[in-house]
Amino acid sequence: MNYDEEGNCIMYTTRDVPAGSPLRMLYGDPTNPSPLFATFGFLDESSPATFCKIMHLQPEMEALGLDYSNLLFYKDTGDISGEVWDVILYSVLAFDAGLQQNFYQAYMSGDMETKQAYHEEYYPFTLEALKQHVDGFLAELDALSAHAYTKDPASHPRLPVILKHNEFVRSTFLAVKSRLDAM
């Protein structure tokens, strides 16, 4: 997209576009509204999922070759992406470098049988770690939102959209909590 000296917008496309057709720009991953909110300052409430917010496990994410786009909680169902379980398990296995390395090898080589065996054996520990994360994050989010409500929106004009984002994340985490509590 460019502008000429007269201020006209000029768009180039990779395929023919019929006259009168709308042109759309993709701002990012439509499954996760948090990066869109952080980068562009708006919230797409139609997003089906959000990043699970396990920023404290960044080294584990990187070790497994994952990023925020892989680690999702789903808004309507409370589903948890398999990659979240993998990162949590990898973290749980840190108590024994040999076990962690064996899981890593199974993960990286696509050995689903070995990976699944680890998940089954350590399920109570990964479940508890994930429950603690969700409960802790919900408490933190509630505290942040409560603090935000003490601020004057006239002095903080982005506050309404921040609170709307927090509510989107909170409702997603509550759906996940409901699912975890039933396990």
The predicted-structure confidence for 122-143, as pLDDT tens digits, reads as follows: 999 999 999 999 999 999 999 9
Q: What are the structure tokens assigned to 167, written together?
A: 């509510």
CA distance 105 to 149: 47
> Pick the residue with more confidence: 156 or 83?
83
What per-residue confidence (pLDDT) applies to 29? 65
In this model, does residue 1 exceed pLDDT 80?
A: no
In this model, does residue 31 exceed pLDDT 70?
A: no
Name the pLDDT band for 113 (thresholds 50, 70, 90).
very high
pLDDT cut 90: percent of the chain above it: 52
CA distance 34 to 41: 9
CB contact set of 111 (below 8 Å; sequence gap of 6+)? 105
In this model, does residue 26 exceed pLDDT 70?
A: no
> Pick the residue with more confidence: 169 or 37?
169
Burial 8-28 (b: 16+ CB within 10 A, else e): eeeeeeeeeeeeeeeeeeeee
What per-residue confidence (pLDDT) applies to 25? 67
In this model, does residue 88 exceed pLDDT 80?
A: yes
What per-residue confidence (pLDDT) applies to 96? 96
Burial 77-101 (b: 16+ CB within 10 A, else e): ebbbbebbbbbbbbbbbeeeeebbe
CA distance 131 to 183: 10
Average pLDDT, the chain: 88
pTM, entire model: 0.79
C-alpha closest to that of 141 among 171, 110, 105, 116:
171
> Pick the residue with more confidence: 60 or 24?
60
